[in-house]
Structure 1
């Protein structure tokens, strides 16, 4: 017995170590599911499913599918997938939408669009390595099922229990690669084959699903008969880079048209980053006139997202101007736009109703140009706030409302 005991101890320890190392899945996982699209009080017009590749290899899913069944049903609805999920990337599937609620389009370009109507509170979602509909109520033992999430009152799930029940304003998310309730920057690969332990309910989905890049500022300035574009990101996930696009504005805004968008350059991204990154691009191929610019941020898997459009005038004199923030009211972020007619120090400050400074957004030298900056008030309470622009002898104050 004495000789056997050490062997048993080593064997158990080895198994324990394997379990610890195995918390991050070695296959594609279901990172998130949302079924409140278009329902009362929902944020988004459509349901969606997000996949994530936690492995070190790209995976071809062109013959795979995602499938959904009601919480107690054996009838499965199928959305066929396409293309490849690169290592560390997300893959988004837009599904059906409802007809009520304060709805906005999904804040991402889906990789594929399906027609499945997903329950907001209880149901079953399967990732399958073929495109044939499942035929049983509990397919968790089917070798073709790559990943599975049963949530709410689902009669099938992985492990000891179902994932928590979401609602019209929340989703079921998989924990990150460290086993924490965070999403996006640390992946979404936690998998102990137990839905109740591997997932959580996220009640704030305003920023779902994670976009490849969090762009916090984008501005244009005039320098030596050229236009210099500057932008900044706070975080990046699988960022391949930015196409820079320009359009010539042929009439005033109330006439509203331009010459059409043209790619004028490309700036390489930083891939994955949790720290702020600054970018710039100089457009020398211009003459007097009015121009619009936008960025096309491209993910490693080819998906993309457009920035807001900024404009600059190279023919008419600029005046100092502080625009009303948009959106207003807002929660938690809003954009403030301003323009300055000559280079100099610019200060943009946010105050509360007591006159106390809560944020200094800008305090630096800037060239002549039109600028915009994002203000994130996630740490502030609901209420009225003021923002003030100061440059040379110019001072202007405007009011904005934060409603949480």
Structure 2
């Protein structure tokens, strides 16, 4: 796949093979599908610069040419070298490219890697209601070309609007903590939040959705947790307040998916494994003709 060159002095055995080798990267699609091998045949005393050429046809489906680098296999895994700058990424004609890596003192197997799949590693996102508003917190393990986070809010889990923006760290291998405070004006029982992470080049991805239940609402005295849910949701009916004899769960399109007779103080465990992913509404009252909305939950 093109010619390769060194800047410096030394003698090497060099060859190229198809595929990314050694094994361990077979599930990734953000590499050039070639492995370059360089083995010195004699000792050398200086560091060297390596330039590798490749053809566009060998780039895998999620390879990001704008954020790529030369990666070396160190015996246990592939090392990370920050993405090339414009000065050492070159284009030859319509479909051949070259990249440079400097200060090399160890050799072996090399490939061209990129961060085409996961520019930001979000490890935690949570939100809680406080007396002064809603407190959102999130944490990243690393970031690549991260411009900013757009904070979005919804009262139904379906239609979101932008409520703020938090600057990212650009490119960082350090863990970073973020937070945002928001005082909703809506009197909705539940509030939904998500993050829209945006790269410098305009590409974006969404976080998971987190849910906050309002502190001050006569209807929100019924507790619904966890939220979002996987297999089961618990519904705790208060021992005081409006009498609820029947409880219902409806899908967002109006289908009744669950019904049960209840009493004050009951704690109900509802199986959700048979439900499709989406938003569900919890109603209660004397009968199906006299219902009030008690809350909502998201089925993942």
Q: TM-score, normalised by structure 1?
A: 0.34
Select the structure of larger CA radius of gyration: 2
Q: TM-score, normalised by structure 2?
A: 0.45
